[in-house]
Amino acid sequence: MTGAVILVVVKSVELGLPLWAVIGGIFFGSLLPDLDHPSSTIGKRVLFVSVPLAGLFGHRQFTHSIWPLILTIWLFNLTEHANGYVMVLMIGYMSHIIADMLTDSGVPLLWPVQKRFGITICKTGGVLEHIVAFGLLAVALIF
Ligand SMILES: [Zn+2]
């Protein structure tokens, strides 16, 4: 996983993305999975998106599965038309999913199958969750 993150960041820099775009893209991408929560940092800014998503799927459902990433790869066909901006957004998105996998709630990676995947290191909403999430983001930015 770390190797993939490094590869994507290096590829993004090779594509000529400025560092601010890489950092900002990773940060913004890390907020996107919580679009399904109207009280989240991003959800409360786009209620016209977060309220319907919350009503349709609930929190930590579709947006916390592998499907948004697969859809993005399919839509942008990253293997042939690499787009650095999309890749840094995906790094941030994946960092959020990994961070949520470290909480006691886990994530339904194979949604709509409700089996939750994860390793419980901390409680959802706890201080340690924020520390772990910040640490993962810092690691992604450093490498
Ligand atoms: Zn989340």
How many percent of the chain have pLDDT more than 90? 42
User: From the CA of 84, how far away is ligand 1's center (Å)?
Assistant: 23
* Mean of pLDDT values over 90-104: 90
User: From the CA of 81, how far away is ligand 1's center (Å)?
Assistant: 29
Q: 121: which 2 tokens?
A: 């290191």
Ion ligand 1, residue ranges at CB < 5 A:
33-34, 100
User: From the CA of 16, how far away is ligand 1's center (Å)?
Assistant: 30
Closest by CA to 140, choosing from 105, 101, 93, is 93
For 34, which DSSP code?
Answer: G
User: From the CA of 47, how far away is ligand 1's center (Å)?
Assistant: 17
For residue range 29-52, list pLDDT tens digits in order.
999 999 999 999 999 999 999 999
Question: Given a cut of 90, is residue 53 above it in pLDDT?
Answer: yes
Closest by CA to 59, choosing from 38, 42, 31, 89, is 38
User: From the CA of 54, how far away is ligand 1's center (Å)?
Assistant: 12
For residue range 55-83, list pLDDT tens digits in order.
999 999 999 999 999 998 888 776 665 57
Question: Given a cut of 80, is residue 7 above it in pLDDT?
Answer: no
Burial grade of 82 (CB within 10 A; 0-12, 13-18, 19 or more): middle
